[in-house]
A and B are shown apart, each in its own frame.
Chain A
Amino acid sequence: MVKRYTSLAYKAADDMIFGKSVYPVKAELGLEVGAGYVTGEVNYAPRPEAGVSKEKLVSEYRRLTTDIMARAVQVGFPGIVLETEHVEQMTNNPDWGGEVAHVQKTIMEEYHEEYGIKTALRHTPGDVRENRDLLALIGDKYDVTMESFEAVAEAGADFLSIETMGGKEILDYAILRNDIPGLVYAIGCLGSIDMTMIWSDIRKIADKTGRIAAGDTDCSQANTAMFIAGGLLDKNLAHTIAIIARAISAPRTLAGYEAGAQGPGKDCGYENTIVKAITGCPISQEGKTSTCAHSDVMGNLVMQCCDLWSNESVEYHGEFGGTSVQCWSESLNYDAAMLNVATETGNAKMLRDILVLSDKYRDPQGYVLAYDNAYKVAESIAKDGDNLYLRAKNAAITCCDILNGAEKLTMSKFELGALADAKAALDAMTDEEDTFMSESMEKYKAEVPVFRPEDNYKF
């Protein structure tokens, strides 16, 4: 039985800042995260043709790791984190992922020994727990995923992460129908149940191998909502709905920490400021320097409380300024240097607030994720921290309340209409977890053919 968070790690929102966390973590090659400075975390994807064999993939990662480390010392980075998000072959064949981790860590050790650069390696196995048509969260695929974690941990990966899929079969249905109770069920309930299971086991592997169970993200759901929502003029999803999904994702990501994760949380978890307020654990974030991977509408704001600063992902290829991983790792490092100067000169809070205010009124999503409002969402989650359903519902309601009380944020009629409908749907929801769970089970079993709860969730 995991212990749920029912209080916050920070006494006030203003105490939250980039580069510092209540509970820093330390990797073996000298790098600490959340211990007073921000470090760039570079992320990459192999070229399409590299996936055809183990040898080609390993070679691709050898090249790009060497490129990154070479640029790091050329430009004087004090530290650098590398994140390898697996392509499916690397997780489904645990020895592939293990070999890549070993090759990467060996190169990083060589640079550490020669130059003293602080460095750490994050490996993120893919969530391969799916069959052709259905999720398969429990069973053989789960075992393969755990074998992959063991392989990369034993080969040297310092931080263990994953982007889990629990609840996505309902989210994909609900998000296209503005179904707010469906979002609560998918993300807040099903997702958290799966997170509790998988992170308990990842922590065991981390403890056994001397590695760090880092953290998860609701990429598969809240980021799906954010990407569908798109830019200001896109009409695929109201941004007010996207931020409600994001608020609900915070208690889901929190469940990973409750089951043993220690940070740094995953970069694409835009919910991480809310989560950091509760756990005090370090987080990675991405924004203005991840435009190579996707657009968002809060690129500066999400720097506000980051401990690692990431580019999300870039395909490995040549650019005018070197290879893509060199260009983006250099940009990340300059960002980190700016943040660290602010810290060293006593201007961190001023810079934090400048970053926040440059985006806070750009969009409902940034408005709610601004650290002062994120803290309010965190309080509402912890208030009913022991109840997975209520804390998810609380997060959604608080998100709506924050938006309804916003003064300088202008919203379109569409956004306000969607917000009003969402709030009405939330107000109509029961306070009884058992009632909600049983009614939702019945509803979605009837409406979503791929929903197989008995096979996937340990209720």
Chain B
Amino acid sequence: MDVDPSKILVRYNVAKEKAQTPEEMAAEMYPSAEPANTICAAIFDGEEDDVIEGLEKAIEGGADPVALIDDVLMVGMKIVTDLYDQGVIFLPNVMMSADAMLEGIEFCKEQGGAAPKPKGKVVCHVAEGDVHDIGKSIVAALLRAAGYEVVDLGRDVPVDEVIAAVKKESPMMLTGTALMTTTMYAFKEVNDRLLESGIKIPFQCGGGAVNQDFVTQYELGIYGEEAADAPKMADAILSGKGLAQLKEQFHKH
């Protein structure tokens, strides 16, 4: 027994696929001038050695190492994240590109002895009692790729530690991820303790069992359905949006 699948299902990913390959689309977005073109291509390919080689040549040619971070590395990474947002490339491409870009940034910092100011600071953590941290790792990588400084508290983070870190780092946003229904309950406590301390920053919450209904139960909570929402939320905060506007934008259900 067999069947003609076209009568019973549609593979919309195939049907909606763009004619151009991701590589072709990326190539059209690279700056035309060198060394930016070559370095951006190396970032897209996730080739760390090629990124460093391109940076070395640029610095030998008189480029300012610190300026290369904003003018070349971040430009190359933005091409990658834009293509990811458009659904053209996959998350592993972003992760490998981010690895290459971050290595490039470290190299430029060593060469130039300074670093450009990040767009903002975000504290990330996994809820107390929860050790499932791949979601948090993705969130942190995407934030770094978008130019934010990330203070990664790790997994199974006690509420006291989250509060202390927020007080110390004064971030623009806090993120929390959890896989389990019982561990995500810690988010409410984090929310209450922040409010008790007079801190009213957006607290982006997401992960396995977390849903919008739960997150809307506490004042600072903004539901992040996708890891990719994290840099978008940070950008929205930078653009001046407050808690109510963030909820309007990100609470999709």
Contact = CB atoms under 8 A, between A and B. Distances in A.
Interface of A: 45-52, 87-89, 130, 132-133, 172, 175-178, 224, 228, 232-233, 235-238, 241, 315, 350, 353-354, 357-363, 408-415, 418
Contact of A362 (B11, B155, B182, B185): B11
A265 B120 CA distance: 48
Contacts of A172: 133-134, 137
Given A45-B181, A48-B214, A411-B14, A228 B9 contact: no
24 contacts: A45-B180, A47-B181, A48-B181, A48-B184, A51-B185, A132-B156, A172-B134, A176-B138, A176-B141, A177-B99, A224-B134, A233-B16, A235-B87, A235-B90, A350-B1, A357-B1, A357-B2, A361-B3, A361-B9, A411-B14, A412-B11, A412-B13, A412-B14, A414-B90
A414 B91 CA distance: 12
Interface residues of B, number: 43
Interface string B2-40: 111100110111101100011000000000000000000
A89 B128 CA distance: 12
B231 to A, nearest CB: 15
Contacts of B22: 414
B217 to A, nearest CB: 10
B91 A236 contact: yes
A241 B91 CA distance: 12
Contacts of B165: none
Contact of A235 (B9, B91, B184): B91
B209 interface: yes
B134 to A, nearest CB: 5
Contacts of A357: 1-3
Contacts of B250: none
B11 A48 contact: no
A241 B90 CA distance: 11
Contact of B181 (A46, A177, A228, A353): A46
A23 to B, nearest CB: 28
A233 B13 contact: yes
A241 B180 CA distance: 26
A410 B16 CA distance: 13
Contacts of A359: 9
A350 B1 CA distance: 9
> Which A-B residue pairs are the 6 nearest by beta carbons?
A51-B182, A361-B5, A48-B185, A236-B91, A232-B13, A176-B95
Given A130-B131, A172-B134, A49 B185 contact: yes
Interface in B62-120: 84, 87-92, 95-96, 99
B182 A315 contact: no
A263 B110 CA distance: 57
B129 interface: yes
A269 B94 CA distance: 29
B154 interface: yes
A358 B156 contact: no
Contact of A232 (B11, B21, B91): B11
Interface in B151-169: 154-156
A176 B91 contact: yes
A412 B92 CA distance: 17
Contact of A410 (B2, B11, B99, B183): B11
Given A51-B182, A235-B91, A361-B3, 9 more contacts: A48-B182, A49-B185, A176-B91, A232-B13, A238-B90, A353-B1, A411-B14, A413-B21, A415-B13
B37 to A, nearest CB: 23
Contacts of A360: 5
A64 B16 CA distance: 45
A412 B17 contact: yes
Given A232-B12, A233-B12, A87 B182 contact: yes
Given A176-B138, A238-B90, A315-B209, A133 B182 contact: no
A236 B14 contact: no
Q: Which residue of B14, B95, B155 has the most chain A CB atoms within 10 A of its CB atom?
A: B14
A224 B132 CA distance: 10
B54 to A, nearest CB: 21
Q: Which residue of A48, A237, A362, A363 has the most chain B CB atoms within 10 A of its CB atom?
A: A48
Contacts of B8: 358
A241 B88 CA distance: 17
A415 to B, nearest CB: 8
A51 B184 CA distance: 11
A350 B181 CA distance: 40
Contacts of B99: 177
Q: Which residue of B99, B156, B182 has the most chain A CB atoms within 10 A of its CB atom?
A: B182
A408 B8 CA distance: 13
A388 to B, nearest CB: 24
A425 B222 CA distance: 41
Contacts of A52: 185
Contact of B154 (A49, A132, A362, A410): A132
Nearest to B211: A315
A50 B182 contact: yes
Interface in B174-228: 180-185, 209, 214
A177 B137 CA distance: 13
Contacts of A46: 181-182
A232 B180 CA distance: 25
A133 B154 contact: yes
Contacts of A411: 11, 14
A412 B11 CA distance: 9
A52 B181 CA distance: 12
A362 B96 contact: no
A59 B16 CA distance: 50
B24 to A, nearest CB: 11
